[in-house]
Structure formats: C-alpha cells, structure tokens
Structure 1
Amino acid sequence: MALITFTSDFGYSDHYVAAVKAKILSQEPQATIVDVSHGIEPFNIAHAEYVLGSVFRDFPEGTVHLAAVDTNGSKYGKYHAAKYKGHYFLLADNGLLSLLTDGQPEVVVELHADFPLMPFPAKDLLAPAALYLSKGGELEVLGERTQHFKQLLNRQLRLGDHAISGHVIHVDRYGNLITDITRDSIETIAHGRTFTVHFARETVGRILPNFTQVDDGDCCCIYNSLGQLCIGINKGHAAELLGLGFDSQVDVRFYPGS
C-alpha cells in the first residue's frame, strides 16, 4: 500500500484533520498517513504550492498526496485526481494542480461526486479516493479524463546579461525570505563574475553557508537545501525587520571582472 500525504489549511485547533484521517483509517487501519503541514494559511494556494511542491518529490513514486487547501474554492464543486512524475494528487479545482505540475500533469480526471457541493469534500470525497489510489486503484475509475482545470502561473524570473530579477515566494516561520532565484540561475548568468543581492534598502555581496556565519541581528543570504536564494537575519525575523513579504522584489546584479 502506498503512502498518503496530507496537506491542509485546517489548522490545529479544530477536528477537521482528525476527521479526514478517521475516514481513511476506519476503512483501512493499516494505511500510512504522513502529515506535510496543516498550517497552510487559509485559502492560500501559493503557500500550499510552496510547501507541498518543496517536498513531494522526496517521497517514493506512487505516493498519494491529499491537498485539502481551499477545498471549497470552486463554486462548481469540481475536484480532481491527477498523476505527475509518478505521484498522485487529490485536490479541488482551484489552481493548485497547475502550480504543482507547471500546467503539465500526465493524467487528470474529474472526480465523480454524488453531491458536488458537499460541505466537507476533503473527508467525503478526497479521502476515499486517496485510499483507493494508495491500494493501487486506477485513476480512470474515479472519474472522467479531462484537460480542463483551473490554470495559475508561477512567477517567472527575469534574466538578463547583467541582472536577475525575482521575488519572495515564501516567508517561513522564522521570518526567512525564500525567493524564486536559484543557485543554478545565478551561476548561469555569473560566469565567474562578482555579484550583489539587492532587497529593500539592503545590499549583500556574499552567499554564506548558513545564517550563523554573521553576528546576531545581521542580515545575510544563503542557498537553502532546494538551491533557492534565501534572505535571513541571524536570530531575527527578516520579513518584519526588513518590511518584506510575499512577492517583494529581489534583484541580483553582476559586475565585470571577477
């Protein structure tokens, strides 16, 4: 039986997470459910994409990812099961699928629902479908194939000969600012040149191994484990202290010579 991961915007103060798990475990007590996060900001598709998109590839192929974020986001009550790079996804038609798969899932089906506008679709529709897929079930049994699902676009980097312009795509719980600028993009443009990172009114000229390489309260840049450029303050909350947040602009500028 394949793993089931569970990501939601349900939080931790209500019974919703337990109710979805109970639905699965009451039918299959041996099911393995791995919590990714239930702290996704309510209805925040970009937050869900960053969190689940950062980790789903680390799970074995065949893993089923139940993404109960903004589950009532479609007024038409549409829900999908999809396959992408050997993984399965169950989620509402709210644009999250397009972000997770760059708009190119291999197979998408619209789930059959007896009552499309149900009050708790994560429990009553997505959970049973997740269990079915985890047991090796076929996508096509769950619904009709479709190519119609809500499309959202991830922000694209602006790359030039002497600069990269990107944005903050996530603020983690420590206040660190994660950007869509990657180590690969910087090294591709740099060709050995020096560069500086610009954000707010700050300029940083080095990428350090981790935040502890500067004094407490000082700002620095690192690459995280995913190779993304991150801005942080050692023992401080960078987002609050710098006045930056989701979608704030970050630039990397390159200079002649080495």
Structure 2
Amino acid sequence: MGVLTLLTDFGYRDQYVAALKARLLHLAPTLPVLDLTHGVEPYNIAHAVHVLRAVFRDFPLGTTHLITVSDYGASDAGAVAAPAWHAAEFEGHYFVAADNGLLPLLCDGIPAQLVRLNAPAPPAPAPPATSIAAGNLQPVSLNPTRDILAPAAVRLAQGQPLSSLGPPATEAYLLTNRQLRLQDNRITGHVVHVDHYGNLITNISREAVEVVGRGRPATVHFGREVVRELRPHFAAAPPGEIVCTFNPQGCLSIAINQGHASELLGLYFDSQVDVRFTG
C-alpha cells in the first residue's frame, strides 16, 4: 500500500478537512494519509501548483497526491460548466484533481498518462415534491471531492492501475505558466508566489542564471530597487535588509530579513523581476 497526500483550499477553521479524512477512513482505514497543506488560497490554482512543485518529489515514487482546489473544474470561459475530473501519472507520482488547469500547469502541458475519471451514476429521480415538511427532499447534490476524487485517489494509493479509473484523455482545460524572457545580458521573470513570510518567489531558476550569466556579475532589479549581491540564504543579511537568494527548489527569491517583503516592497504575484549581467 502506498501513501496518499492531501492538498486543499479547505482552510483550518471549518469541518471540511475532517469530513474529507472521515471519508478516506471509511474507504481505506489503514492507508497512510499526510497533509501537504489545507491553506491554499481559495480557488488559487497557481498557489496549489507552487506547493506541489516544491514538495511532491520529496515523497517516495508511487505516492498519490489528492488535490482539491476549485474541485468543480472550469470551462473555457472560466465558469463552472460540464465539469470533469482527471488522474495523471507524472515523474513516477500520481495526481488526482479537477479539470481546472492545475495538472497542465504542474506538468507544463497535458500529461502523457492522463485519464478522465468515471463519475458516479446519477441518483434515480425523486418523486414529485409536495413540501419539505412532508419529507420529499431532492437527492443530495454531487460533492466532487467526496464522490469522485477521494475514491479515485484511494484506488491509486492501493495499487490499482491508472487505466482502471477511466478512459484515456488527450484534452484538458489549459493554463500556461509564465515563461522567462532570456537575452544575452538579461533574464526577465515574474513573482509566481508570495509565501507565508512575505518572501517573493520568482520563476527565475538558478540554472537560468548560471547559463545566461556565464559567471558574470549579476544585479537583481524589481520596482525601484537594485540588489547587487546574491546571498547564500535568507538570513545572510542584517534584519530589515533585502536579501536575494535561491530557495531550496532553486528559484530566485526576494526577502527582507525578519520583514514582509511583499508588503514593504509593494510587489505581489506576477510582479516583474529582472536579473541583469555586466561584463
């Protein structure tokens, strides 16, 4: 039996996480279930993808990741319509999520191993209702996490093949990642995440800086600020000073030691950041 992780935007104040874990307990009482986080900003696909990318490779190959963020999916217009749900294999891990653009963002395109999950059969039509008092209530509505995503994730974690969950899929709702702009003397990127500490995580990788920079001195430009030194870690500057460093995932990050960089610098998701080279 494998491991199942949970990533949701359910938060910590209400009963939603407990209800999901109760459902999993009924489906597979002995299955190890670990939380990635339940603090994803509501409906924020980019936030969920950032968390997944940062941590999923730390788990053993074969781990199943259940993601329930915007779990009714999305239409081309961004509204709920004709919802669908998918399971995918990527880099030896399994992912279960709504068709809301999350999996293509994670995999930089439609995953090669992708199936559309079979939805449960609709309930039989209820008899004509006369009144609530008479007990003629409509059937309980579909809950995608409870009825589709959780059962599929459990089956994968228990070792069932991806192909047993539904037919192969070659199309999915697409969202695209911000791409770096690479020039001989400059890399232009953007903030892709603001973390709990206010640190600004960009899509500029250490590899891109090394390849484009070729050992030349680099300066980091954002807003009205210019930082002329890359530090080895977030605390490698006095409190209150700006720090530019690479985080453990190799992403250029901008922080203020013991301060909230996003608020103090006025930078947020999608703010532009440049790395410029001289010499």
Fold conserved (TM > 0.5)? yes
The answer to whether the 8 A contact 2:8-2:68 is kept is: yes
Letter in 1 for 2:159: G
Letter in 2 for 1:206: E
Percentage of identical aligned residues: 52
| Unpaired runs of at least 5, structure 2 | 75-80, 123-139
- Distance in structure 2 (CA, Å) of the matches to 1:188 and 1:206: 18
Taking structure 2 as the reference length, what is the TM-score of the superposition? 0.89
Q: Match for residue 228 of structure 2?
A: 205
- Is 1:27 the counterpart of 2:27 in the alignment? yes
Letter in 1 for 2:266: G
- Is 1:15 the counterpart of 2:21 in the alignment? no
Letter in 2 for 1:249: Q
Q: Match for residue 153 of structure 1?
A: 176
- Distance in structure 1 (CA, Å) of the matches to 2:28 and 2:220: 51
Per-residue deviation, 1:211: 2.5
Letter in 2 for 1:176: N
- Distance in structure 1 (CA, Å) of the matches to 2:206 and 2:113: 31
Alignment of 1:167-246 (within 5 A): 167-246=190-269
- Distance in structure 2 (CA, Å) of the matches to 1:118 and 1:223: 46
Per-residue deviation, 1:208: 0.7
Per-residue deviation, 1:115: 5.2
- Distance in structure 1 (CA, Å) of the matches to 2:88 and 2:62: 12
Stretches of 4+ aligned residues off by more than 6 angstroms? none
**What is the aligned residue count?**
256
- Is 1:164 the counterpart of 2:187 in the alignment? yes
Q: Secondary structure at the match of 1:40?
A: coil
- Distance in structure 1 (CA, Å) of the matches to 2:146 and 2:57: 25
Greater CA drift, 237-246 or 208-217: 208-217
- Distance in structure 1 (CA, Å) of the matches to 2:82 and 2:173: 12
The answer to whether the 8 A contact 2:110-2:171 is kept is: no
Per-residue deviation, 1:20: 1.3
* CA offsets 1:48-105 (integer angstroms, 9 cap, x no match): 1001121111111111110000002332120011111111111000000101111141
The answer to whether the 8 A contact 2:105-2:177 is kept is: yes
- Distance in structure 2 (CA, Å) of the matches to 1:131 and 1:24: 8
- Distance in structure 2 (CA, Å) of the matches to 1:158 and 1:105: 25
Q: CA RMSD in A?
A: 1.4
Q: Match for residue 50 of structure 1?
A: 50
The answer to whether the 8 A contact 2:89-2:113 is kept is: yes
* Larger Cα-atom Rg: 2
Which structure carries more strand by proportion? 1
Q: Match for residue 66 of structure 1?
A: 66
Per-residue deviation, 1:114: 2.2
Letter in 1 for 2:111: P
Greater CA drift, 233-242 or 24-33: 24-33
Alignment of 1:28-177 (within 5 A): 28-74=28-74, 75-114=81-120, 118-177=141-200
Q: Secondary structure at the match of 1:180?
A: strand
Greater CA drift, 10-19 or 228-237: 10-19
Taking structure 1 as the reference length, what is the TM-score of the superposition? 0.96
Letter in 1 for 2:45: I
- Distance in structure 2 (CA, Å) of the matches to 1:28 and 1:72: 24
* CA offsets 1:21-61 (integer angstroms, 9 cap, x no match): 11111122111111001100111110110011211111111
Per-residue deviation, 1:118: 4.8
Letter in 2 for 1:49: V
Letter in 2 for 1:242: L
- Distance in structure 1 (CA, Å) of the matches to 2:209 and 2:141: 47
Q: Match for residue 77 of structure 2?
A: none
Q: Secondary structure at the match of 1:213?
A: coil
